[in-house]
Chain A
Amino acid sequence: MRVWRTGATGPQCTGHNGAMDLYRDNNNPEIAAVAARLVVEEGLEYAAAKRRAVKQLGLQSRAPLPDNAAMDTAVREYIAVFCPETQAVELRALREVALLWMGRLAAFRPHLGGAVWHGTATRHSDIYVQLFCDDPKSAELALLDHRVDYHPGTVNGWRGEPVQALTLRTRCDALGQWVLVHLMVHDLDDLRGALKPDAQGRKPRGDAQALRALLASTHAPEHTP
């Protein structure tokens, strides 16, 4: 990867190591901090938050962006400083909603991922549940049979492949608001790869039992599963 940057001597192209480090030293933590605020306060996804942070800071659109591990750290820091109490309550409420839907969809081996699983969710966060089905149509039929209003779509799975997503809206009484639940429908065979630790060595998702354990341990300070 090559990065252009504008200096006093005009644009020049540098080898990727030097340039990346330079930018990381200068702007990267700042981008991460601004993006973290957008994630926590407005519920943006990481990618969108990074792009908007770059714009807000008036940086070049090609400025190197913080990676997701750096974003996680920045989001945790933001929460710890600005809203530790409210966030803990909101996270718990969302985890309860997730557990309820995982119980309803127990036949499809539901696994919770995303911010609600990793503990960085706030009231703006959506719930992401991965389903592992023998028959990919069966989850959608279950929603039809319960007359649940849902919106079918496609998202990119963790390997970048397109995955069927069913999005539904559910009332969260504890938060007094609606919450979106995205159900990603995977093949049963995908389950093996789904539990491998991610780049940061975390469990990328957990089943209902793991979530229950997480809820039971919530009185302790929030930790990364």
Chain B
Amino acid sequence: MTLNRRTLWMTGLAAAAGAAGMGVAWWRYQPRPVGTEAEATFWASQFEGPNGEAVDLAAWRGKPLLVNFWATWCPPCVEELPLLNAFYRAHAARGWQVLGLAVDQPRAVRSFLQKLPLDFPVGMAGLAGTQLSRELGNPTGGLPYTVVMGADGAVLHRKIGKVSETDLAQWAQLA
């Protein structure tokens, strides 16, 4: 009885909600231009890692960087993390850096990372992370949001929504 109810709920109703959401989504999820000021703010940012270690972005400058804004309760974010991890493993030797910025409760992130450990560093951006992602061209702060930055510290590419293998392959060509 209960299981039926939950299964039915997912199939029919989620489809309806999805269709309704799509109209809203197309204008909400277009990246906006990023000013050099926003880039400067970004490179001056400091975060705490999952174990309290410092993540100081100034030290990350000079190499290509993929920044991913995510949250444990955002299903597409969770789905794309393994892709990002594979990207990091494949291209770290060529100088690529990957940083996950968790816009979430630190406790939830810690317990999530215990279940799904990531090779690349994660910073606890908390609610302030939403503001940072807005400044970096994500008007609503929607997740996931991925920003690719070059060795010179300038934004090369951005994507609101789940990244694909193709996106990552193209970004790998950028640096």
Contact = CB atoms under 8 A, between A and B. Distances in A.
Nearest to A145: B142
A120 B10 CA distance: 26
A141 B143 contact: no
Contact of A149 (B2, B17, B108): B17
A148 B17 CA distance: 10
Query: Is chain B's interface secondary structure helix, strand, loop, or mixed overall?
Result: helix
B1 interface: yes
B52 interface: no
A144 B10 contact: no
Contacts, number: 66
A196 interface: no
B17 A103 contact: no
A146 B73 contact: yes
Q: How large is the interface on B (under 10, 10 to 19, 20 to 34, 35 or more residues)?
A: 20 to 34
Given A104-B105, A151-B9, A151-B14, A145 B143 contact: yes
Contact of A103 (B18, B28, B108): B108
Contact of B74 (A148, A150, A178, A180): A148
A152 B17 contact: yes
A190 interface: no
A169 B74 contact: no
B18 A145 contact: no
A146 B9 contact: no
Interface string A169-198: 110000000101000000000000000000
A72 B74 CA distance: 36
Contacts of B73: 101, 104, 146, 148, 170
Query: Is chain A's interface secondary structure helix, strand, loop, or mixed overall?
Result: mixed
B24 interface: yes
A147 interface: yes
A74 to B, nearest CB: 20
A141 B142 CA distance: 9
B71 interface: yes
Contacts of B17: 149-152
Interface in B1-58: 1-2, 6, 9-10, 13-14, 16-18, 20-21, 24-25, 28
A43 B77 CA distance: 32
B75 A149 contact: yes
Contacts of A170: 73
A51 interface: no
Interface in A28-48: 42-43
A167 interface: yes
A124 interface: yes
A139 to B, nearest CB: 14
Given A145-B141, A146-B73, 9 more contacts: A144-B21, A146-B77, A146-B143, A147-B77, A147-B161, A149-B75, A151-B9, A151-B13, A167-B9
Interface of B: 1-2, 6, 9-10, 13-14, 16-18, 20-21, 24-25, 28, 71, 73-77, 104-105, 107-108, 127, 140-144, 161
16 contacts: A42-B1, A103-B105, A104-B71, A104-B73, A104-B104, A104-B105, A141-B140, A144-B24, A145-B28, A145-B142, A149-B10, A149-B75, A151-B13, A152-B20, A169-B9, A178-B6
